[in-house]
Amino acid sequence: MIAHPATLDVSRDLVRHVRSLLRQERARRGTPKNSRALTCWKHAVFALSWFRSRPNITLHGAAFGISAATAYRYLHEVIDVLAEQAPDLRQALERAAADGLSHLILDGKIFPSDRCRAKTTSVKGETIDAWFSGKTGDFGGNVQTLCEPDGFPIWTSDVEPGGIADIEAARRHVLPTAYPYTKTLPILADPGYQGAGHGVHVPFPQPADGNVLSRSNRTYNRIQRALRCLGERGFALLAERWTALKHTSLAPSRIGDLVRAALVLVHFEHGRIT
């Protein structure tokens, strides 16, 4: 075995914040003092370094002197305590309305995962892989995200299998709660949300009969697209900073919690929570 030094490029304040959450969780569980293999500080460093670089969990655990089973258990504990800090949809919408935001951006992303054997029945009655996404041509989970006008993410949804379309996922997780706010807080979305309803603004579809859109509709589409594209920043802040989101070998059903945990880390680093 060859040992080598490594640097974790996160602030000590962030490690302290995660350590504090872990202390509270251990106190809630009644964990006896000195009964864990890792202190809360080392536990936080262990998890944050995994979020940053997604190392092999078995080797990563060995580097901290813990078994693979313990490494997985410690990782899931941190995911859970962080995800619990994420705002729910109503809280996010109320804060956005109180801040006087002009609009929000709704988008969905397939977060890649290992292959999952779960099956479902397609609209054509065929048996297909539930977590396979035709959109990306790979396995993953669909997570809906709301972003501020500058693209900063403020809320993420529970995960749906990758085969679920964005509009269907939005109807399950976003639209029923969001509709009462859209009079003063319109939502911009891409063509995948056609039919989303009042207050959700999508581009005009191209005519199927070979005609072209009117000049005013083309102008609307350009403006809507220019405003909506900033939502890509939200996914960059999540997945480019916390690269564990780029591909997970955890159970796909954990993707929603994993993304919420990353959202809390993003909010802390940008001063949204302390």
3-state SS, residue 269: helix
183 and 60 housed in the same domain? no
Whether 160 is covered by a domain: the verdict is: yes
Range of the domain at 161: 89-269
65 and 105 housed in the same domain? no
Distance CA 99, CA 160 (A): 30
132 and 34 housed in the same domain? no
Distance CA 8, CA 6 (A): 7
Q: Six-digit token pair at 158?
A: 């529970």
For residue 194, give Cα distances in angstroms to 7, 200, 227: 46, 9, 17
CATH of the domain at 156: 3.30.420
Q: Based on the structure, what is the number of domains in the chain?
A: 2
Where is the domain boundary, 83, 108, 129? 83
> Across the chain, which distance is largest between two alpha carbons, in Å?
73
pTM: 0.92
195 and 230 housed in the same domain? yes
Q: Six-digit token pair at 75?
A: 């990782």
One digit per residue, the tens of pLDDT, for the chain of length 274 reads 566 566 789 999 999 999 999 999 999 999 998 899 999 999 999 999 999 998 899 999 999 999 999 999 999 999 999 999 999 999 999 999 999 999 999 999 999 998 777 777 766 777 777 888 888 888 999 999 999 999 999 999 999 999 899 999 999 999 999 999 999 999 999 999 999 998 999 999 988 877 889 999 999 999 999 999 999 999 999 999 999 999 998 999 999 999 999 999 999 999 998 7
Of the candidates 260, 268, 269, which has an alpha carbon nearest to the alpha carbon of residue 88? 260
Whether 274 is covered by a domain: the verdict is: no
Whether 219 is covered by a domain: the verdict is: yes
CA 55-57-61 angle, to 5 degrees, is: 110
99 and 140 housed in the same domain? yes
78 and 104 housed in the same domain? no
Whether 5 is covered by a domain: the verdict is: no
| DSSP H or E run through 141 | strand 138-147
61 and 105 housed in the same domain? no
3-state SS, residue 106: strand
Distance CA 4, CA 119 (A): 43
Whether 6 is covered by a domain: the verdict is: no
Whether 211 is covered by a domain: the verdict is: yes
